[in-house]
Amino acid sequence: MTHDHPQDIQDYLVFGEYGGVNPSVTDSSTFTFLDPATMSELFEHEIEGCFLYSRHWNPTNKALADALALMESSEAAQVTASGMAAISCTLLQLCQQGDEIISGRTIYGGTHALLNHFLPRFGVYSTFVDILDPAAVIKAITPRTRVIFCESVSNPLLEVADIPTLSRIARQHNLTLVVDNTFSPLIISPIELGADVVVHSLTKYINGTSDTVAGAICASKAFIDQLVDVHSGATMLLGPVLDSFRAASILKNLHSLHIRMKQHSLNARYLAECLQTVGLTIHYPGLPDHPQHERMTRLMNPDFGYGGMLTINMGSKEKADELMVRMQDAKVGYLAVSLGFFKTLFSAPGSSTSSEIPAAEQEAMGLSDGLVRMSVGLDHNIECSFGRIYRCLQEMGEVTEREKRSLELPVAA
């Protein structure tokens, strides 16, 4: 079954009061009842159109969650106050004391720290494996394993997980496959490929304006019901509720996600090809020499490209830092963590977003000090942006005569 997710979102109609074209923003933490019996019933199960308390559900958050469920082809969804809240609530709902998680080793540093430092305090332990190696995943399974966790396109190394294979392994061993799809919304549909739960940092591409922090969990209706259960649900009891004003603005931005993803991908592919021509070591899943290029081509939905993230390996931390400072001065973008913004953002993950990962592990996974991660923006004139980067590289002495002569730049699509 192939879905047209942007069309599904477009066809999802939620009106505001008085027929507003956007849903009304719920400006209430609590809701009135005419009948105490209905209130008691709501503590036991959901009643369509009836709300109790905003930490549990509120209409604006429900509208955003339903739209995200359409985007991920999931039965249901829940929104949270951050991507980390989505990840931690999901894992705490799935795991009891003594349980184990198998995780890809190249994941966002915050998630790595959650698994490696925080969850062990509650008796939940993780094994980090090369998620690209199915044999390593199978070898790590023990009778206590409950979850396989990975990122569809990993942060920052842009490894592309083989979700159908991981799903088969998970099913054979009665495990839950949780996939963080933050880097590839619309591009990859993990649930259609066999994942059980998809988590997102909405902070990134889905919101797209770097003005808020938010998260989402897309899964079966049964799992979302578990999360909001008043007696035992992780989102209900830990309480990372998304503010409804933010939910309303994220929902508006979601409607332009398909256009933004296409442009991020076009711009990133152009820069990746040009920078490779200059002779730099570039990682971009859309380049034919990316180790999982063929897999990504097979797994991705048509129309949205290979995403807006690329990495440049400058060989040393000093060169990485110098390039970033020069690029910021040249107005290529901002030296900042995060991604999915309309302006290009760059950071050196080894000393920032992945710094929670111990140095030895960074080395083992191939995360070098000289890596610059770029979230390519929505630049109208990407040739001009490349020209600026090229000048920065020239000033650094990184463009050799030979490379200058052989330079045949791709024409931007």
Ligand X SMILES: Cc1ncc(COP(=O)(O)O)c(C=O)c1O
**Contacts with ligand X, residue ranges (CB under 6 A):** 82-84, 108, 110-111, 151, 155, 180, 182-183, 201, 203, 213, 215, 353
CB of 215 to ligand X, least distance (A): 5
CB of 291 to ligand X, least distance (A): 19
Burial classification of residue 342, based on how many CB atoms lie within 10 Å of its CB (0-12 exposed, 13-18 middle, 19 or more buried) = middle
CB of 162 to ligand X, least distance (A): 18
* Cβ closest to ligand X, residue 88 vs residue 265: 88
* Cβ closest to ligand X, residue 180 vs residue 229: 180
CB of 343 to ligand X, least distance (A): 17
With tokens 């922090």, the residue in question is 213
CB 335 within 8 A of CB 324: yes
* Cβ closest to ligand X, residue 270 vs residue 284: 284
* Cβ closest to ligand X, residue 276 vs residue 375: 375
* Cβ closest to ligand X, residue 111 vs residue 276: 111
The rounded distance, in Å, linking the Cα atoms of 328 and 344 is 10
CB of 203 to ligand X, least distance (A): 4
CB of 216 to ligand X, least distance (A): 10
CB of 155 to ligand X, least distance (A): 4
* Cβ closest to ligand X, residue 176 vs residue 207: 207
CB of 135 to ligand X, least distance (A): 25
User: Which residue number has the CB closest to ligand X?
Assistant: 83
* CA nearest neighbour of 267 among 306, 303, 300, 297: 306
* Cβ closest to ligand X, residue 340 vs residue 393: 340
* Cβ closest to ligand X, residue 189 vs residue 276: 189
